[in-house]
């Protein structure tokens, strides 16, 4: 903890920590009150929105006593890394809020002065009073135009210097020209004034910018919290503390009760429950036993466990999450890029159009030629067009996480909405994947039941297949295995004590052998040196929500298929009971791939849902893929999205949500396009006064942003 060390060296220092556990404003107040009582700490402040604690340590040891008190209260604090980013957002937000407030107050005041001449009727007000009102409006517009609208002027200036035409150019030109012309008319005491339009335009545009920044900031805070979930070091079983960056796959870690799990690992000893709410949105703690996966950054709640690190740091779910957040913020789907390109040309066209319609009406002798040019300029600004998609995507990615969905490919939501066929894997996806050893038939007299299980479990040591997990749980001791081999979907092999053992389906172990009984279940054969040793029969239960999920999916997308590697009659019956009439059984991974390709060739858009290595190929072949509770990081990195909470019931929800995202983006683009196409001709013809133009243009940006904000509700 470098911050602690720093606190010791200087007498008085300002310290910042992130406290991810803060759940409500009440927590903030409690922490503030408790820490303020400490003698060596002052200026305690907890920001709820950012879950950020800051205080001044007035004497050496202040930080330590504050953190001790905080831990006693049940909160964990981590020193803030890369503070600059958050500070930058904070500063931006404050600056924008100040500008927005000034524009809002200014707009209301200017409107009151403008109202006097609007309401004065045909006789008009006396010229000296009208001049007074104009001067007053001029004075109030000054801070709005020079202070509030400054970001637009700066942006426009930057664009002009770079010889591009951004969105800020027409905005800035409109505000400045409306203001300067009105100022000239005020001084001369002739013509029209447009102070009210200039102020209103600025205010509404700033509102849109503010909402956009707030959405981005929320996004960023969540991402930063993700980065801060991890501890600095991990403890190995031998008691050694290793920095996270130096952890190797296969290191065995000891994780004590209440600690943050430092790495993605597989439990090798002990049982516990883990709080995975930060990842899955599921508040119910997840039960963990031998073979279960632990996620880095989640909290070990009530037992001491040992876990073997299962992937390198960059492959951890939490690293994917941070990466995803970074890329989602900058992800632009194809049509957003198109909209942007259109918007760029649009700006140039708008400028030309505004200028030429002004010139035309001036040539025609119309008094209000400037008002018309101004209206055209303002009304046609394509802000809404360029906002329509990015804001919707940013909000949708954040919201999906609340449904337990981790999206790693930007196109996932876009493509999900067009899915016509859903293909499921059976074991581990539709079923719970935790198998029960139902029956065991020994064919050898020299080995006991337990010895056979131990040998089988040893062969499966490196496998994450449900059978392996069950066998490991039943085993009493594991043997050293030489030359381990694994054939996904078929079985495993290895050398124990000089003998070659194979374990798996009969087709893999010894062709021609048949299970000893017709009983339901998944029969697996163990052989030594090509002699059959024992049959194991495993049974599996379907997930509670599998039936209803399939039912709902059939209604939503039409076609639901199952490709299973399982060959048992039991498996087929189980699937029939779930509503799958014609499951494809005994499929090898290659067959799954070719069947998926065949579906695509017939025009279907395929979503492949799987969990294991034997599905990875088919998942890559499908249009989009979803991994459910993947036990293997390879499967997860191959999938376009991962359902971390393992709740199949989320799939229909996610599908509906994807539809909603698509329709919101569609509405946004439709609105933005049709608004511009409809209103520009009216403005050119002189039917739109500048104030109405300002209102319409800003409202269309605002509507697009607010429409996208609807996506934050996932229900």
Residues in contact with other proteins by the rule CB under 8 A = 24-26, 28-30, 33, 37, 46-49, 90, 94, 97-98, 101-102, 105-106, 109, 129, 132-133, 136, 139-140, 143
Q: What is the DSSP string of 486-520?
A: EETTTEEEEEETTEEEEEE-HHHHSTT---S---S
Q: Least distance in Å: CB of 136 to other proteins?
A: 5
Q: Do 200 and 691 form a contact (C-beta atoms < 8 A)? A: yes
Measured in whole angstroms, how far is the alpha carbon of residue 348 from the centre of its chain?
35
In the complex, the smallest distance separating the C-beta of residue 19 from other proteins, rounded to whole angstroms, is 13
Q: Are 682 and 693 in contact (CB under 8 A)?
A: no
Cα 207 from Cα 701, distance rounded (Å):
9
Q: What CA–CA distances, in Å, run from 305 to 267, 274, 465, 476, 632?
A: 7, 11, 21, 18, 20
CB of 94 to other proteins, least distance (A): 6
Q: CA-CA distance, 666 to 369, in Å (whole number)?
A: 36
CB of 65 to other proteins, least distance (A): 18
Give min distance, CB of 105 to other proteins, in A. 6
CB of 35 to other proteins, least distance (A): 12
Backbone dihedral angles phi then psi of residue 253, each to the nearest 5 degrees = -110, 150
- Give the residue with the Cβ less far from other proteins, 100 or 550: 100
Give the whole-angstrom CA distance, residue 539 versus residue 134: 85
**Residue placing its CB nearer to other proteins in the complex, 94 or 573:** 94
Task: Select 37 or 499, whichever has its Cβ closest to other proteins.
Answer: 37
Which of 23/256 has CB closer to other proteins?
Answer: 23
- Length of the chain, in residues: 715
Residue closer to other proteins by CB (options 137, 253) is: 137
User: What's the min distance (Å) between Cβ of 83 and other proteins?
Assistant: 15
B/e letters for 333-366, b = 16+ CB within 10 Å, e = fewer, are: beebeebeeebeebbeebbebbeebbeebeeeee
d(Cα 133, Cα 528) in Å, to the nearest integer? 101
H/E run at residue 223: helix 195-228
Residue from 396, 433, 466 nearest 660 by CA: 396
Q: Which residue, 133 or 560, has its beta carbon nearer to other proteins? A: 133
Q: Are 699 and 203 in contact (CB under 8 A)?
A: no
The nearer residue to other proteins, 137 or 654, going by C-beta atoms, is 137
| Residue closer to other proteins, measured from CB, 89 or 361 | 89
Instruction: Quickly count helices (H) and strands (E) in the chain.
Output: 25, 25
Q: Which is nearer to other proteins, 220 or 502 (CB)?
A: 220
Closest CB 41 distance from other proteins, rounded Å: 15
Would you say 131 or 510 has its CB closer to other proteins? 131
Q: Minimum CB separation from other proteins for residue 49, in Å?
A: 6
Output phi, psi for 551, to 5 deg: -60, -50
- Cα distance between residue 133 and residue 113, in whole Å: 5
Nearer to other proteins, 128 or 477 (CB): 128
Q: State in angstroms the smallest separation of the CB of 130 from other proteins.
A: 11
Q: How far is the CB of 636 from other proteins (least distance, A)?
A: 35
Shortest Cβ distance from residue 140 to other proteins (Å)? 6
Q: Give which of 62, 69, 86 is closest to 14, Cα–Cα.
A: 62
Residue 22 CA to residue 50 CA, distance in Å, equals 9
Decide: 468 and 434 in contact? Cβ < 8 Å.
Answer: no
Q: Which residues pair with 626 in a beta bridge?
A: 609, 641
CB 671 within 8 A of CB 384: yes
Between β-strands 421-424 and 559-562, what pairing exists: parallel, antiparallel or unpaired? Answer: parallel
**Closer residue to other proteins, CB minimum distance, 26 or 681:** 26
Minimum CB separation from other proteins for residue 95, in Å? 8
Nearer to other proteins (CB atom), residue 113 or residue 370: 113
């Amino acid at each position: 903890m470098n911050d602690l060390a720093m606190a010791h060296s200087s007498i008085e220092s300002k310290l910042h920590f992130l406290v991810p556990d803060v759940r409500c404003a009440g927590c903030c107040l409690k922490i503030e009150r408790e820490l303020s009582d400490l003698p060596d700490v002052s200026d305690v402040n907890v920001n709820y929105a950012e879950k950020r604690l800051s205080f001044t340590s007035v004497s050496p040891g202040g930080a330590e006593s504050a953190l001790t008190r905080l831990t006693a209260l049940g909160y964990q604090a981590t020193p803030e890394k890369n503070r600059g980013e958050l500070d930058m957002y904070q500063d931006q937000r404050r600056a924008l809020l100040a500008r927005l407030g000034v524009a809002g107050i200014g707009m209301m005041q200017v409107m009151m002065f403008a109202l006097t001449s609007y309401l004065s009727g045909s006789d008009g007000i006396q010229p000296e009073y009208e001049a007074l009102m104009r001067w007053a409006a001029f004075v109030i517009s000054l801070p709005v135009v020079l202070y509030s609208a400054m970001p637009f002027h700066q942006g426009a200036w930057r664009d002009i210097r770079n010889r591009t035409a951004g969105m800020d150019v027409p905005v800035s030109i409109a505000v400045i020209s409306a203001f300067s012309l009105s100022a000239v008319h005020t001084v001369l005491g002739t013509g029209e004034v447009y102070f009210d339009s200039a102020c209103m335009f600025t205010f509404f545009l700033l509102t849109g910018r503010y909402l956009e920044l707030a959405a981005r900031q929320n996004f960023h805070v969540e991402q930063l919290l993700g980065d801060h979930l991890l501890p600095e070091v991990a403890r190995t079983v031998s008691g050694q503390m290793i920095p996270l960056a130096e952890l190797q796959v296969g290191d065995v870690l000891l994780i004590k009760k209440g600690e943050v799990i430092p790495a993605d690992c597989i439990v090798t000893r002990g049982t516990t429950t883990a709080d995975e709410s930060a990842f899955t949105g599921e508040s119910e703690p997840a039960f963990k036993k031998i073979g279960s996966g632990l996620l880095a950054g989640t909290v070990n709640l009530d037992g001491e466990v040992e876990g073997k690190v299962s992937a390198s740091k960059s492959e951890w779910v939490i690293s994917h999450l941070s990466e995803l957040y970074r890329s989602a913020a900058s992800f632009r789907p194809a049509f957003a890029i198109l909209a942007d390109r259109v918007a760029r040309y649009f700006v140039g066209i708008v400028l030309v159009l505004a200028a030429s319609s002004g010139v035309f009406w001036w040539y025609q002798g119309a008094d209000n030629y400037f008002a018309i040019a101004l209206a055209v300029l303002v009304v046609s600004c394509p802000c809404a067009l360029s906002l329509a998609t990015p804001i919707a995507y940013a909000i949708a990615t954040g919201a999906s996480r609340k449904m337990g969905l981790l999206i790693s490919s930007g196109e996932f939501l876009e493509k999900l909405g067009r899915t016509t066929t859903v293909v499921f894997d059976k074991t581990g996806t539709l079923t719970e994947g935790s198998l029960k050893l139902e029956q065991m038939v020994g064919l050898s007299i020299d080995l006991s039941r337990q010895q056979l299980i131990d040998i089988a479990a040893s062969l499966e040591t490196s496998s994450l297949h449900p059978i392996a997990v069950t066998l490991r749980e039943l085993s009493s001791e594991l043997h050293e295995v030489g030359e381990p081999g694994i054939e996904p979907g078929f079985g495993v092999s290895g050398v124990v004590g000089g003998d070659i053992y194979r374990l798996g389906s009969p087709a893999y172990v010894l062709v021609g052998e048949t299970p000893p009984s017709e009983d339901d279940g998944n029969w697996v054969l163990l052989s030594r040196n090509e002699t059959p040793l024992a049959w194991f029969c495993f049974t599996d239960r379907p997930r509670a929500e599998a039936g209803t999920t399939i039912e709902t999916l059939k209604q939503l997308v039409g076609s639901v298929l199952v490709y299973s590697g399982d060959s048992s009659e039991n498996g087929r019956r189980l699937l029939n009971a779930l509503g799958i009439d014609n499951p494809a059984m005994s499929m090898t991974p290659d067959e799954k791939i070719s069947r998926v390709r065949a579906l695509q060739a017939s025009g279907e858009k395929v979503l492949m849902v799987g969990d294991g290595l034997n599905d990875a190929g088919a998942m890559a072949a499908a249009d989009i893929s979803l991994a459910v509770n993947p036990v293997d990081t390879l499967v997860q990195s191959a999938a376009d999205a991962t359902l971390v909470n393992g709740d199949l019931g989320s799939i229909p929800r996610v599908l509906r949500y994807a539809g909603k995202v698509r329709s919101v983006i569609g509405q946004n683009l439709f609105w933005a396009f049709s608004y511009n196409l409809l209103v520009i001709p009216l403005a050119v013809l002189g039917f739109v006064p500048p104030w109405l133009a300002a209102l319409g243009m800003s409202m269309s940006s605002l509507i697009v942003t607010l429409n996208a904000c609807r996506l934050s509700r996932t229900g």
